[in-house]
């Protein structure tokens, strides 16, 4: 978007509405927040020749949030840089309301997008599902939703990663760096994937120190900076020694803990620049490799509709869907050695995180002594409990 449009406070959607309203008078210019675009013809067909494919990315927050949205934006940039024939259009800070439907529609009708990545969880139902029926030749890739064959449109994909594997390894590091075994977790909402992160982090910590505990404080939403700061300060006041989180932007948590002299473990992206002394490591997404692979499939002509691209994509550490942040300067050699060993064991399949016996923090048995739930077990995507060692309730 031009500086002039920004100065007047116009959103990309408002500009798109204006273009649509004046299209009957022959206006064919286009506008993008993601990169410079050439004028198009034919109702939004991509510029630059027949081989160019327009790919749209939509984010629920800013692209520089040091968190969820930044991780996706970095992956989108890698796709555009690594896959010739792709032209990127983007819009950030789009709410999980009809606003995202409006953004998707403008990307399709004005930008000529044939592939969309609406990245936030709440975009899926009803917004993606509705637009996918209306535009059956457009491919919709969604982070976190679970595609159901025969239920959802054939042009919809669900992709996500087993990032709790990296959380387990981060928990190993946290336990080594916490003499009292007092860990903290600032959490947004108790959805299954968040609960799984808390539990895996705790299980990793208790593999080192069986008495370690993780105090959980819920903020109630994905981006509530004031409550995130309050929760972090509360944990510091209680003597928590390592704090991690699952919120959209860990920036406030990491910076607040650094000011209080508390170690941190990051999430989504690398937050080490925010805490040069206290950042230990973190669980990061590796969307660059995932998006580059999908982009390559798309330019080769593969689609969801013909089965060339699977409707469900999942992967963990071994599949480069996620990774561990580099170790910070405070991490001991012993912690690094144990974490490296856990990382290798998870990648090889030797280490199964959810391995019985396993109890909830309310005393209910989850797994018997000889039972396991491997990383790709669908039951883990329905998680509704905290494991033993977690202090908190759902």
Domain annotation covers residue 291: yes
- Residues 352-382 pLDDT 10s: 999 999 999 999 999 999 999 999 998 998 9
- Residues 108-121 pLDDT 10s: 999 999 999 999 98
User: Residue range 116-143: average pLDDT?
Assistant: 97
Domain annotation covers residue 106: yes
Domain annotation covers residue 6: no
Together in a domain, 194 and 256: yes
Domain of 126: which CATH number? 3.40.50.2300
- Residues 252-269 pLDDT 10s: 999 999 999 999 999 999
The rounded percent of the chain whose pLDDT value lies above 70 is 87
Answer yes or no: is pLDDT of 208 > 80: yes
Domain annotation covers residue 135: yes
CA distance to 15, 107, 327, per residue, from 103 (Å): 11, 6, 39
Torsion of CA 218, 221, 223, 229, to 10 degrees: -30
Together in a domain, 71 and 169: no
Together in a domain, 250 and 308: no
Domain annotation covers residue 3: no
- Residues 142-177 pLDDT 10s: 998 778 999 999 999 999 999 999 999 999 999 999
Domain annotation covers residue 4: no
Looking at residue 146, its pLDDT comes to 77
Together in a domain, 70 and 145: yes
In whole angstroms, what is the distance from residue 294 CA to residue 317 CA?
Answer: 18
Task: Report pTM.
Answer: 0.85
> By residue range, what is the domain housing residue 185?
164-284+323-391
Domain annotation covers residue 7: no
Give the chain's domain count.
Answer: 2
- Residues 43-69 pLDDT 10s: 333 334 457 999 999 999 999 999 999
Together in a domain, 180 and 329: yes
Q: Percent helix, strand and coil across the chain, each rounded to 5?
A: 40, 20, 40
């Amino acid at each position: 978007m031009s500086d002039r449009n920004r100065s007047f406070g116009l959103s990309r959607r408002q500009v798109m509405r204006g273009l649509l309203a004046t299209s009957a008078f022959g206006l064919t210019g286009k506008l993008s927040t993601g990169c410079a675009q050439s004028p198009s013809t034919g109702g939004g067909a991509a510029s630059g020749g027949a081989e160019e494919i327009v790919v749209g990315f939509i984010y629920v927050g800013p692209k520089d949030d040091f968190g969820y949205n930044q991780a996706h934006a970095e992956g989108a940039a890698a796709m555009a840089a690594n896959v010739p024939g792709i032209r990127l259009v983007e819009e950030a800070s789009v709410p999980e309301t009809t606003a995202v439907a409006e953004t998707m529609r403008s990307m399709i009708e004005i930008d000529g997008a044939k592939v969309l990545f609406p990245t936030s969880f709440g975009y899926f139902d009803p917004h993606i599902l509705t637009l996918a029926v209306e535009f059956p030749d457009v491919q919709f890739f969604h982070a976190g939703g679970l595609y159901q064959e025969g239920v959802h449109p054939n042009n919809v994909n669900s992709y996500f990663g087993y990032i709790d594997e990296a959380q387990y390894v981060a928990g190993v590091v946290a336990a080594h760096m916490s003499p009292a075994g007092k860990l903290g977790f600032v959490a947004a909402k108790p959805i299954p994937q968040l609960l799984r992160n808390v539990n895996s982090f705790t299980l990793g910590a208790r593999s080192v120190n069986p008495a370690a505990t993780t105090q959980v404080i819920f903020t109630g939403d994905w981006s509530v900076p004031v409550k995130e700061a309050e929760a972090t300060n509360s944990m510091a006041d209680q003597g928590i020694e390592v704090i991690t989180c699952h919120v959209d932007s860990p920036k406030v948590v990491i910076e607040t803990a650094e000011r209080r002299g508390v170690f941190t473990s990051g999430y989504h992206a690398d937050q080490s620049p925010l805490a040069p002394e206290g950042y230990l490591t973190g669980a990061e997404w590796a969307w660059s490799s995932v998006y580059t692979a999908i982009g390559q499939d798309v330019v080769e002509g593969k689609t969801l509709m013909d089965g060339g691209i699977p409707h469900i994509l999942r992967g963990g550490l071994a599949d480069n869907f996620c990774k561990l942040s580099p170790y910070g300067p405070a991490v001991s050699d012993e912690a690094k050695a144990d974490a490296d060993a856990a990382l290798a064991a998870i990648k090889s399949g030797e280490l199964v995180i959810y391995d019985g016996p396993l109890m909830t923090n309310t005393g209910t048995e989850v797994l018997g002594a000889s039972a396991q739930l491997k990383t790709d077990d669908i039951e883990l995507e329905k998680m509704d409990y905290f494991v033993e060692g977690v202090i908190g309730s759902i």
